[in-house]
Amino acid sequence: MPAGKSKAYDVAVVGAGVFGAWTALTLRKAGASVLLIDAYGTAHARASSGGESRIIRMGYGPDEIYTRWSLRALPLWLELFAEADRPELFQRTGVLWIADERERASYAQDTIASLTTLRVPHEKLKVDDLRREYPQITFDDTSWGILEPFSGVLMARRAIQTVVDQAQKLGMHYKVAAATPPNPPKSTAAGNTHLQIIETTTGETISAAQFVFACGPWLAKLFPALLANRIFVTRAEIFFFGTPPGDTRFQSPQMPTWLFLRDEFYGMPDLENRGFKVANDRHGAAVDPDTQSRIATPQAVAAAQEFVAQRFPALKNAPIIETRVCQYENTSNGDFLIDRHPDFENVWLVGGGSGHGFKHGPSVGEYVASQVLNIGKLAATPEPRFSLATKLSTQHRAIH
């Protein structure tokens, strides 16, 4: 091939996060020739799919589609880890929803209804049950719980690296390269057109029959005119608190993964001796994923310490031993964005995943591959709530 030009592929996937990696793997398993590229490399520190851990749970309030997709995703994750001989990448900690009779009660009740309808194993706990089972947590008198005993934690950074490794073993091509914004179509008078190539920042051209842009918070930077009011990138700060020496109350199985609906905080037990993970689920300030500061702010530190002192009193004066700053990238309605570009017949946009998308990677990969290759039942029944038409708004809500 001429210098600076790649071979032609059936599909080029831009972005090696959880959505892009699983899409590439699924496409390769379906027989397509695939190139996967990422600007900074798999599971890099700027990625929404980076970091050590992500929750995989089944409860989603009234949004039953995500419960179904989680149910589909977990066995696919486990199958992948078994093939790679990496069973430690899923930690079955259980997931405890801590609900409240006074606030967001309908979300918890809808979660119970969906779990029941789909026959997901779960247990409803009264406040006395919670206090007996988890004395290290402070519960309000109006609290109650939902325990998903078979849910838990995916070890995110290594999980994504494993997806890419397995795809490469099957013949997928992978490289570190940064795509530049595609040139607009030359003419749309006769309808949609095809994108022939994309270029990288080093001047290389990549040719493919189909292109999938699954680059999360970078989607709006590659397609600003189309996605500026559809993708919202906001700051998220995570803290790891050091537990007292010799104290196992904050490790699994004594401590499950947990979500306080009223307080909008979530976290995980001390896994692999990294510390007790605590994160604020409220959306932070709008940020640029390339340049935002990755240093935790004093305000976020104080908020996390205040929450921990209230809910986990034994950790009131615990040191913060690690912090992480990443980003959510939500759509205006909180749903995923999975749709064809309106000006290019062979370009697909995939994003809007964080902060709840990581667990769904295998399901997203199956869905996107079916659309791109036009095969299977999923191709015949695209999900309307994932379309571009539902995303145009200057306001956004969380679906977490």
Examine the domain organization and report whether 310 and 350 are in the same domain: no
Examine the domain organization and report whether 134 and 249 are in the same domain: yes
| C-alpha span between 44 and 310 (Å, rounded) | 34
Residue entry with tokens 């078994």: 82
| C-alpha span between 56 and 248 (Å, rounded) | 23
In a domain, 379, yes or no: yes
Residue 286 tokens, joined? 């709008």
* 152, 259 contact by CB (below 8 A): no
In a domain, 76, yes or no: no
pLDDT by residue for the chain (400 residues), tens only, comes to 444 555 699 999 999 999 999 999 999 999 999 999 999 999 999 999 889 999 999 999 999 999 999 999 999 999 999 999 999 999 999 999 999 988 778 999 999 999 999 999 999 999 999 999 999 999 999 999 999 999 999 999 999 999 999 999 999 999 999 999 998 876 545 566 899 999 999 999 999 999 999 999 999 999 999 999 899 999 999 999 999 999 999 999 999 999 999 999 999 999 999 999 999 999 899 999 999 999 999 999 999 999 999 999 999 999 999 999 999 999 988 899 999 999 999 999 999 997 899 999 999 999 999 999 998 877 778 899 999 988 765 444 555 5
Examine the domain organization and report whether 178 and 263 are in the same domain: no
Residue 241 sits in a domain of what CATH number? Answer: 3.30.9.10
Residue that finishes a domain, picked among 327, 353, 378: 327
2: buried, middle or exposed (CB in 10 Å: 19+, 13-18, 0-12)? exposed
94-119 tens-digit pLDDT:
999 999 988 778 999 999 999 999 99
Neighbours of 266 (CB within 10 A): 23
247-275 tens-digit pLDDT:
999 999 999 999 999 999 999 999 999 99
In a domain, 68, yes or no: no
Q: Which residues contact 269 (CB under 8 A, 6 or more apart)?
A: 93, 250, 251, 252, 254, 255, 256, 257, 276, 277
Q: Greatest CA span in the chain, whole angstroms?
A: 71
In a domain, 44, yes or no: yes
Domain containing 39: what range? 5-50+157-231+333-390
| C-alpha span between 216 and 277 (Å, rounded) | 24
In a domain, 201, yes or no: yes
